[in-house]
Every structure is written in structure tokens, then in C-alpha cells.
Structure 1
Amino acid sequence: MARIVFIGAGSVEFTKNILSDLLTLPGLEESTLVLHDIDAERLATAEAMARWMVDHLGLPARVEAHTDRRAAVDGADYVINEVAVGGFAATRTDFEIPARYGLRQTIADTLGVGGIFRALRTIPVMVALGNDLAELAPDALLLNYTNPMAMIPRAVYEGTPFRNVVGVCHSVRDTQARLAGLVGVPADEVAFVTAGANHQAFVLEFSHRGRDLYPVLDEVIEKDPELQRTVRVELYRRFGRFPTESSEHGSEYLPWFLRHDDQVEKFRIPVGVYLEWSAENLDTYEETRRRLAAGEGVEVKPENELASEIIHSIETGTRRVLHGNVRNGGLITNLPEDACVEVPCVVDRAGVQPTRIGAMPPQLAALNRTFLNVGELTVRAALEGRRDHVYHAAMLDPNASATLPLERIGELVDEMIAAHGDLMPEGIR
């Protein structure tokens, strides 16, 4: 059966969610589950959790744990990446230093100064992983969860010989369910076409049995003042299609919101909220350790994670249409060829097969390009060791450029590079 490897398995809550799926989906019961993390304590926690889940369910699945990444990925069929390079300390740096410059962020993992530096410290690890896979598991499928999604898979397919990488994210699925709920139609009866850049994709088609549902959505919004006070509704009303990312997250990819106190208040944007979430995750980890030590175990609750469903579809031939982040290569004709784009994908025994979208509405493609420009420069900075491209990426970032003059952006970049130190790629630190 399949050898399924978890990179960054010490993110135990996330690992638990995927394991809950893999261990309850029919046809995957005999899989070998391989856990890898560089933190030996977290790895031990993840291993104890996985073994408890397998024993609790009475399954023949095997569990391995390795601090050596090469041992873990050798012969892999699937590799699920969920690394957070630098952990909570690096995330705190991504918020605290920009905040001293007056730069507001909410999540700071996708775009903006926080997204740029998360990518810079993650890309060297991903390049090393891609090179390992090219040598030790050339036929494996790498399923990436780590943000920034538009940058990480691109760094793998541009910076290594390994090409079979797909980024997976919940945002499209969650948005489609949200929209179906707003208009009162079961989600499985709605026809959706959604595409663009990850966290800035747009619902291009939204219909039910041939009936356009956008006018129905307009009526719902018109009657709901609370909906009107959200960034994503404001973006929909201005650009003509509904965006896939949450309002707090989507606000930091744009120049119009976080810079202005009145906009932050009007749209109720929770500045710095990700630090609170990250601290809660630390508490969740400690609670999981306590429960395992006490023999209480963990809840096995299937979560319909995309990585799990992709593996199940390939292994069993169960056909699904899921969204993946892949090299564009003409899938969206008015976005750059080398960009990593999010499109619907057919998944079955033949693997992950992206759908060609054609041209997006020009205003949406234009907005996506402001997003993708930052990602391209960041990837080039990391792969080529070009410190100047770090400045270029930050100068072109919509939120940073709306908030700070060029000189201050340069000073901020210098301070961030110094603070992250050895986590930065060669040629940048």
C-alpha cells in the first residue's frame, strides 16, 4: 500500500486531522504513515498520537518516525508538507518589526512583508526537499499546505528537478460553501468555476441549474448591513466577482484598507490576529501531549482534508474535482506562464489533472498580477541569492507600498533580514 510521508508532522493538530481522514477512508487502511520533524519532542508526540489512532481503530496501518528527512521520503508515494520554518518565534518577528514601522498585517503568511519573509525562510527547506524527492522518490506526489502557496510550489518546480508538486488550500471549498449558504441552495447543486492566485482567486461562475446566482447574492447583500461591512464583499462589489479569501486575510494583499484607520474600523479588520491564533495552537499542542501521556488519546474526526481526498482518489480511482495550485502553463491565459495558479483539478487514478480556464476577466487578472509580481521576485530572491530582489518584492507589495516610503521599506527589509539571520537563503543574509 501507499507510503505517505508527513513533513513537519510536529504540527500535531494538523497531522491529526489528515490522519483522521486517511485512517477512515476505505482503501487506505494498510498505508504506511511516515512522520518527519526536526523537533524530536514534537515528533515523538506526533508518533504517539498516530500509533494511538491506529491501535484505537484496530487497523493494519504501519507508523514510522524519522528525524532524518531522507530516510522518511525514501520510496515515498505521497509527501504532505506542513512545515513552519522558524516556528512561533519567526512568526512573531514577522509581525513585531513591521508594526514598529507602522505597517499593519493580519495573518502575514501569504503576501506582504510577513509573507515575503516566511517564503524566504521556507524556500531553502523546500528546495532541499525537492532535490531529495528527485533522487529518492521521483514518482511521488508532493502535496504542499505551507504558505505562501503561490510561492512555495513555484520554488520547487523552478528550483529543483522535481515537478510533481500541488498546493492544497481550503479557501475555495470554504468560499463555495459560504456562497451556497448565503443564497440558500445546497452546495452540491451549485455550479462553480473558481480560479486565480491562491488566496486571491475569484468565483467566475456561480449558478444553479443554468440560473446565475450572482443576482440572488446581490439581493442578500443589499438586505444585510453586516455583510456590507466585510472586505470580501467590498472587493466583490468593486471588481465584479466574489473573492475566495476571508476579509481579514484578503485586506493585507491590497493597498486600500490597512493603511487607513477608518477602513480598518468600517470593515472590522482584526490587525495582528494570527499571533493570537498561533498562541492558541501552542496551547492545543500542550493539551494533546497531556492527553496522550494520560492515556486519553485524541478525537478521531474525519475532516475531509484535500490531501487525504487526493490520495484516496488516486489510490482507489474515486473521481473528485478539487482545487489545486499548479504551474500555470497556459491554464489561465492572461496570467504569467510560470506563475503558480489555483484552478479546478480532476483527480482519479491518473493523478491530478488541472483544468484550463482561459482568460479571466481583465480586472481580476490585473489584480492577480500585482499579487503574483511580489511572489515572483521573492522566489527569484531565494533561488538566486539576490538580496536586491527582496527590496524589489517589498517595494512592490501593495500594502507596504501604500504605507511606507521607499527609504523606510529598505530599512524594514534590512532589519527583517538581520532578525531572521541564518534562516535566510544564501546570498541574502
Structure 2
Amino acid sequence: MASMKIAIIGAGSVGFTRTLVRDILCVPELREVEFALTDMNAHNLTMIRKILDRIVEVNKLPTRISATTDRRAALEGARYVINCVRVGGLEAFADDIRIPLQYGVDQCVGDTICAGGILYGQRSIPAILDFCKDIREVAEPGARLLNYANPMAMNTWAAIDHGGVETIGLCHGVQHGWRQIAEVLGAENPQEVEYICSGINHQTWYIDIRYKGRRIGRDELVEAYERHPVYAKQEKVRIDVLKRFGVYSTESNGHLSEYLPWYRKRPDEITRWIDMSDWIHGETGGYLRVCTEGRNWFEEEFPRFLSDAEKPVDPARRTTEHASYIIEALETGRVYRGHFNVKNKGLITNLPDDAIVETTGFVDRFGLNMRAGLTLPDACAAPCIASINVQRMAVKAAVAGDVDLLKLAMLNDPLVGAVCTPDEVWQMADEMLVAQAQWLPQYAHAIDGAKARLLKKQVPKSDWQGAARLPVRSIEEMRAARNREKGGVSPDQQVVA
């Protein structure tokens, strides 16, 4: 197969970039490629290049690795572009969690909708549009953008409608939930469980589950979860929604709880629905804490990454991340079925056509082929539509720099609207704009006005730290925890660099 170029924007996410590249190298036909890595963080870029150079050298591969902080140079001639960027890094992410807490909005993750996710989209979309401009101008004609960056729906929506680049949004939530369902059903191999998911990113639903060919209904799945010794405690929101809606959500307990207006609106109710055994089950600002710890721990973990790079590339250890399978299908014609974020256009009959939906389809040499005509249960469609309406306004606001529309998007967010008054939302939005002005070029004209409004008589706010917040652990505390686990790495210690 002729050589080609795959560019990775945000390649300084070292652990994730390593995973994506290893997966692609599991395909023999894809080994004679150039991976063009680009990131604003030159230090992380140097480290990931060392890791990938070691993998290529040990496995005696024809693969080429290049790394540059010049994004346009990395994109030149690329056939595929993978986006993994977190615009504003952990500094902006901290404001996404901290400021809404002062108004009573308690988020576990804050990267999809809610106050944090909406502002994350305002930061990300100008960058996405810059990426798309470069792709149109210097990448290979017809180059595809594979977007992994959140907020998934907003970023993909902006890239398609305003960026002019063929874009597929990719998320691994569907695969994670599938393995969990297989476990509670007692499957010896997850492949015994087949499924169809449909919805929107982070609100996707297992609308059809088959175990050894037999369809699994609500009651059987509820019973399986309630008798599981771990998930019965960790997945209380998901189980409650399953009982009421009749279908299971792909998303984690903590994530799902912040997209709905019912589970996090009262401080004394939050602890009823979450579990503190791991951040992903609902901890206040849990993902921010884990990302911060991962960044701090990364320098200690790098030698292990470098050592692991000496292991042979093993197709048996290929992950379920979509990117390698999509590229393999497009380049070789081997069919890959998965769940992808794309424009609706009739794929889901009871969601708006202009929305970005996450639903099932397959990829082959002819491109992405989606299953059309699926219909969600009404109970699932209703919260999806509420989120879509927020996403639509947020994308328009981000493209135009429209402060009024941004505030309306935030006001209509399910959780924010359940907690805050309109005056609180208007002030919270002004405060977040001012705090994050350096990453919001489209709002440059509005920052002085926001500052002036904040100097006037203000809506009262608090210094609330949330219903279930844990402190960031020190390196010494993380090292001690790792030693207690006898060398194992808990989910809280996974590197996010």
C-alpha cells in the first residue's frame, strides 16, 4: 500500500497518542505511514516522539515519525487528521468546575454540556475552525478529520457546518458500557453480546441487546445489575434511568447524572445517587482531579512508558478505539461496524435532522455507511432533544461570538436550569467569559462589557466546594496508593498528559 500521512493534533496527550499509534501499527498495511505529531507543548511532544521512535525501532517498522509545534506543517499532505486537543488545558478546565460551583452547579466532568461543557465548546470551536482551514488548504484533498476532542457533538457540528471538512466524531463510551453489560449478564467473552446503540454523544442508549442471539429486556437487565456486587452500588443513576426509561445508557454514572435535571440539583440528594469508590461514578470535579493528578504523575510514569515501548506490537492487544479500524476499513476495504458521531439527516427519526447523533453504521472502502430510520424510545429522545437545543445555540454562539446566545444556551441547559435563576446564569456566564478570555478570541469585543457588569451590584454566590469533592493527591500520596496496590495502577492513577 502506498505511503500516507496521518497527522495527530494534540499529540502531547502522550498516553492516548501512544494507544492510537500502536493500534494503527497493528494493521500490516498501515505500517508504511508517517505519523505527523503536533502540539503546543513542546516538552510533551518530545516525550511522545521518543516513545514512538522506540516502538518503530524495536519492531523494525518502516513507519516514520515527525513532530513539530507548527500545526500547518504537520497537516501538509495528511490524508487523515486525528484531533485530541483540550483547549485551555487544565487551567481553563478548573474554571469550568470552580465558577459554576459558586452558583450551586455541581458537575462531575463538565466537558459535554452543562456550564463547563458549554464554555469548553466556546474555547474549542475557534480552534476547530482553524484546524479545518489548514486541512482545506494544505492537507490531501478529501482529507478526513477524526475528532476525539470534547465537547464531541459541538466540535463535530462546528467542523461539518462551518469548517467544511468531512468529520467523524469518535468516543469510546459505547464500548465501555458494552463490556459492562457483558459482565453483568455473565458472558465469558464480550463478543457474545451484540448491541445497537443510538442517541447523542454521552446520551446514547442500548436500544437492542442480544446475548447469544437472545434479546435482553429491561427486567432481565435490571435484575442483572442489581445483583452485581459492585455495579449495584456504583451505577445507581444508570440503573434508576434503566428502570424508568426501559433502556440502559452508555454513559458512566457521573456523566449521566449531569446531563439530566434530576440527580444533581439538590446538594443533599447528590450523595444519594453517586458512589465515591471511583471518580467516574459522580465525584464533584472528579475528572478534573484525575487529570490534575495524572499531569503531576506523568514525569514519574514516563520511564515505564518508554520501557513498554520496547514490547512487540501485538494485534491481539489492539484496543477498541475506533480510529485504527476506520482507517483500516477505508484503506483496505475490510468492513468495520461501530458507533459514530455524524449529522443526523434521518438516521434517528425522532431527533432533529441538523443534530450530531451517535449511532450505528459501518465503514468500508466506499466510506461511512450509516443505518437510517432508527427510532428512540420517547423517554430517551426527550432529554436528547433538550441537550441538542443547548448544543445548537452553543455552536452558533461560539462561531459568532454572541454573548446573548451563549447565556441562553446556558439558561436552557437541563442541570443549570434546574439549579440557577436567570440572573445567576447571566452573571455566571460573564464571570466565565472574563476568567477564560485568553482562549475566547471571538468574544474579545465583549470582555470589557462583562467586566463592567460584574462590578455592579452582584447576585450573591458562595464558596461551595460541591457535595462530594476530594482534594488532589500529592505525588507521595499517589505513590503510596500504588504501592498498596502492589504495583497495579488504579483508574484514578491513569495518566492524562
Question: Normalising by the residue count of structure 1, what TM-score does the alignment of the two structures yield?
Answer: 0.94
- Structure 2 unmatched runs, 5+: 275-281, 312-316, 448-497
1:78-89 equivalences under 5 Å are 78-89=80-91
By how many angstroms is 1:131 displaced?
Answer: 1.5
By how many angstroms is 1:289 displaced?
Answer: 4.4
1:5-45, Cα deviation, whole Å (9 max, x unpaired): 10000111111111121222222111111101122222222
By how many angstroms is 1:68 displaced?
Answer: 1.3
CA contact (8 A) 2:109 2:255 kept: yes
Residue identity in the other structure for 1:261: P
1:11-410 equivalences under 5 Å are 11-137=13-139, 138-162=141-165, 164-185=166-187, 186-208=189-211, 210-214=213-217, 215-224=219-228, 227-229=231-233, 230-268=236-274, 269-290=282-303, 296=307, 298=309, 302-410=318-426
Q: CA separation in 2, counterparts of 1:52 and 1:285?
A: 18
Q: CA separation in 2, counterparts of 1:303 and 1:126?
A: 26
By how many angstroms is 1:290 displaced?
Answer: 4.9
Q: CA separation in 2, counterparts of 1:257 and 1:425?
A: 35
Pick from 411, 428, 442: which aligns with 1:426?
A: 442
CA contact (8 A) 1:321 1:345 kept: yes
By how many angstroms is 1:225 displaced?
Answer: 7.7
Residue identity in the other structure for 2:321: E
By how many angstroms is 1:390 displaced?
Answer: 0.9
By how many angstroms is 1:115 displaced?
Answer: 0.2
Q: CA separation in 2, counterparts of 1:30 and 1:298?
A: 18
Closer/same/farther in 2, CA of residues 124 and 273 from structure 1, 3 Å limit: same
1:302-360, Cα deviation, whole Å (9 max, x unpaired): 43321112112222222110111001111112111111100112012122222214322
Q: Secondary structure at the match of 1:18?
A: helix
Residue identity in the other structure for 1:361: P
Q: Secondary structure at the match of 1:27?
A: helix
Q: Secondary structure at the match of 1:310?
A: helix
By how many angstroms is 1:53 displaced?
Answer: 1.5
CA contact (8 A) 2:184 2:228 kept: no
By how many angstroms is 1:224 displaced?
Answer: 4.9
1:255-288, Cα deviation, whole Å (9 max, x unpaired): 1111223432222231111122111320343235
Closer/same/farther in 2, CA of residues 85 and 216 from structure 1, 3 Å limit: same
1:395-415, Cα deviation, whole Å (9 max, x unpaired): 011111111111011110000
Closer/same/farther in 2, CA of residues 20 and 225 from structure 1, 3 Å limit: closer
Q: CA separation in 2, counterparts of 1:319 and 1:359?
A: 25
Q: Secondary structure at the match of 2:107?
A: coil
Residue identity in the other structure for 1:131: K
- Structure 1 unmatched runs, 5+: none
Q: CA separation in 1, counterparts of 2:18 and 2:212?
A: 38
CA contact (8 A) 1:189 1:208 kept: yes
Query: What's the C-alpha RMSD, in Å, of the aligned pairs?
Result: 1.9
Closer/same/farther in 2, CA of residues 52 and 222 from structure 1, 3 Å limit: closer
Residue identity in the other structure for 1:86: G
Name whichever of 44-53 and 208-217 sits farther off. 208-217
Q: Secondary structure at the match of 2:121?
A: helix
CA contact (8 A) 2:222 2:242 kept: no
CA contact (8 A) 1:36 1:67 kept: yes
User: Structure 1 vs Structure 2: percent identity of aligned residues?
Assistant: 37
By how many angstroms is 1:130 displaced?
Answer: 1.0
Q: CA separation in 2, counterparts of 1:227 and 1:44?
A: 40
Q: CA separation in 1, counterparts of 2:266 and 2:292?
A: 27
1:146-198, Cα deviation, whole Å (9 max, x unpaired): 01111101011111222x10011111111112112211234323331110000
Q: Secondary structure at the match of 2:152?
A: coil
Which segments of structure 1 move beyond 6 Å, counting only runs of 4 or more? Answer: none
CA contact (8 A) 2:198 2:359 kept: yes
Q: CA separation in 1, counterparts of 2:228 and 2:122?
A: 41
By how many angstroms is 1:218 displaced?
Answer: 2.8
Closer/same/farther in 2, CA of residues 100 and 314 from structure 1, 3 Å limit: same
By how many angstroms is 1:91 displaced?
Answer: 0.8
Q: Secondary structure at the match of 2:263?
A: coil
